[in-house]
Amino acid sequence: MQLRTKFILLAVLPLVASLLLIALAVRHQERELVQREHALVERAYMEARRAELKSYVALAVSTVKPLYEAPGDPLAQRAQALKLLASLDYGPDGYFFVYDLDGNSLMHSRQPELVGRNLWDMRDPQGRPTIQELIAQARQGGGFVDYLWRRPSKGQVEAKLGYVVPLDRWGWMIGTGLYLGDLHATMEQLDAQASSNIATTLLWIAGIAVFGVALISSTGLLLNVSEHRIADAKLRLLAHQVVQSQEDERAHLARELHDGTSQTLVATKLLVESAVDALEAGRPLPARVLATALERLKTCLDEVRRISHRLRPAMLDDSLGLPAALQALGREFEDDGGAGLVEVSLQGEPVELPELVKTVLFRVAQEALTNAAKHAAAAHLQLGLSFEPGRVRLQISDDGAGFDEAAVQEHPRQGIGLRNMRERLASIGGRLQIRSQPGAGTEVRAEVPLPSNSTSTASA
């Protein structure tokens, strides 16, 4: 999986999940808020309407009260009272009605066709006996009744809240009511407005999510491009360093062969040729000629052995293994004068290491000693190899000049050797730790895990 894909997944998915949870929480909270607002508005509306109905009925009762309490002809007084009540209204759907306690309609200003009819058995579309419920509430001293009734202004049946009171002496029930269709329309308007607000909020959250994803994607793209450029620069530099190292090694090997081995072989060839010429001419052959040629051949063999050992120590391939190769490496650095005193130590019981592990650890030690000799000007170096349960550890420390590790790691043209060591160890599952400070020396520690079936060198 590419770096950009990992970056986008690790950044975008939590962002989208968080915004989705926020959207769900906002939607849930707004729904609850709408329900609470709905209940609050409905309660306030109904309380206001109940108080309004009580006021209207109190006004109607006060209008007929003089006739109700005055002495005189009861029939004339009742007829006059019905006329007064019929003249009272408060809007196209606000009117009063009068029934006797037997269910006979005495006055209905908006539906005169009902006057004179007995409506005791009348039922609304839900099957409830409307007039019986109103009269029953009046017999209990008055109160509110919910029922269905045709609305005069619209000609359709709607929910209605009625309020009735009795006139006991006349055997009447006086009442009025308010249609609740306006309340339902108001509630629907509130619900529509709340749904619009929720939709707007969710659109804002979706817009923020799209913007965040776009920003993260563009940032990831820029980061990916930048990392690619840095990686390409480091790779090119590393490839150049590898090629340069190969060329340097070849040039060094060519100089060694030309200046040392080749010259020795030429001198030996000349001695052998002079001996051959003497033998062919029948002259006596000086003993020192062959002795000198033999000595120079021995010197040439030693030189070839030294060059071969530098390329790859033979001790890595025999029974002596890595510890002996490290000791030889320390002596070689002492003899060459590239470093000061090199102290090699061994801890734990040696085990037979895989070929690749031996080679990597030897190269790490070689690179560390080379760096110490070239850059640290160390007078004393310690090279320790420790065999521990499940791992082998190589530690190289010096008392040299030290360096700023962070600055070297960030510099594109420095720390190539350190990166080489890290990459070598990473290829076999190991890790490299470096501790260094300017003027305080350097410590390089390499650790490699070992398979559980590793055997000791002694038992092998």
Q: Convert the pLDDT of each residue in 151-173 to its tens digit.
A: 888 888 889 999 999 998 899 99
Query: Is the pLDDT assigned to residue 118 strictly greater than 60?
Result: yes
Would the pLDDT of 284 be above 90?
no
* Residue 451, pLDDT score: 72
Q: Please tell me the predicted confidence (pLDDT) of residue 104.
A: 93
Q: Is residue 460 very low, low, confident or very high in pLDDT (cuts 50, 70, 90)?
A: very low
Q: Render 193-260 in DSSP notation, one character per residue.
A: HHHHHHHHHHHHHHHHHHHHHHHHHHHHHHHHHHHHHHHHHHHHHHHHHHHHHHHHHHHHHHHIIIII
What pLDDT, on a 0 to 100 scale, did the predictor assign at position 458?
40
Are 197 and 30 in contact, with CB atoms under 8 Å apart? yes
pLDDT at residue 411 is higher than 70 = no
Pairing relationship of beta strands 341-347 and 380-388 according to DSSP bridges: parallel
Identify residue 221 by its one-letter amino acid code: L
Supply the pLDDT for residue 176: 93
pLDDT digits (tens, 9 = 90+) for 19-50: 788 878 877 777 787 778 777 777 888 888 88
Mean pLDDT of 264-293: 76
Mean pLDDT of 88-92: 83
* pLDDT average, residue stretch 84-101: 89
**In the predicted model, is pLDDT for residue 205 greater than 60?**
yes
Burial 42-56 (b: 16+ CB within 10 A, else e): beeeeeebeebbeeb
Joined tokens for residue 65: 């009260």
pLDDT at 452 over 70: no
Q: For the chain, give the mean pLDDT.
A: 80
Radius of gyration of the CA atoms of the chain, in A: 54
Mean of the pLDDT values across residues 282-286? 73
Q: At what angle do helices 355-371 and 321-336 cross, to 10 degrees?
A: 20
Mean pLDDT across the stretch 196-214?
Answer: 79
Compute how many other C-beta atoms are within 10 angstroms of the C-beta atom of residue 452. 7
Predicted pLDDT at 239? 67
Tell me the residue type at 81.
A
Q: Over 60: is that where the pLDDT of 232 sits?
A: yes
Query: In terms of pLDDT, which residue wins out, 278 or 364?
Result: 364
Residue 459 has pLDDT above 50, yes or no: no
CA distances from 72 to 69, 76, 399 (A): 9, 8, 131
Integer Cα distance of 179 and 202 in angstroms: 37
pTM: 0.43
Rounded to an integer, what distance in angstroms lies between the CA atom of residue 61 and that of residue 55? 10
* Longest Cα separation, the chain: 186
Strands (E), 64-171: 96-100, 105-108, 143-151, 156-167
Q: Give the span between the Cα atoms of 248 and 256, in whole angstroms.
A: 12
Query: Residue 77 in contact with residue 137, Cβ under 8 Å?
Result: no
Phi, psi dihedral angles at 196 (to 5 degrees): -65, -40
- Name the strands in the sheet holding 442-449, side by side, starting at the edge strand that comes first in the sequence: 341-347, 380-388, 391-398, 442-449, 431-436
Lowest mean pLDDT among 58-72, 154-168, 354-368: 354-368
Specify the pLDDT at position 401.
78
Q: Which residue has the higher pLDDT, 385 or 414?
A: 385
Share of the chain above pLDDT 90, in %: 16
Nearest of 288, 259, 283 to residue 271 by alpha carbon: 288
pLDDT of 246 reads: 65
pLDDT at 320: 57
The predicted pLDDT at position 422 comes to 83
pLDDT at 129 over 50: yes
pLDDT number for residue 120: 92
Q: How far apart are the first and last CA of the chain?
A: 43
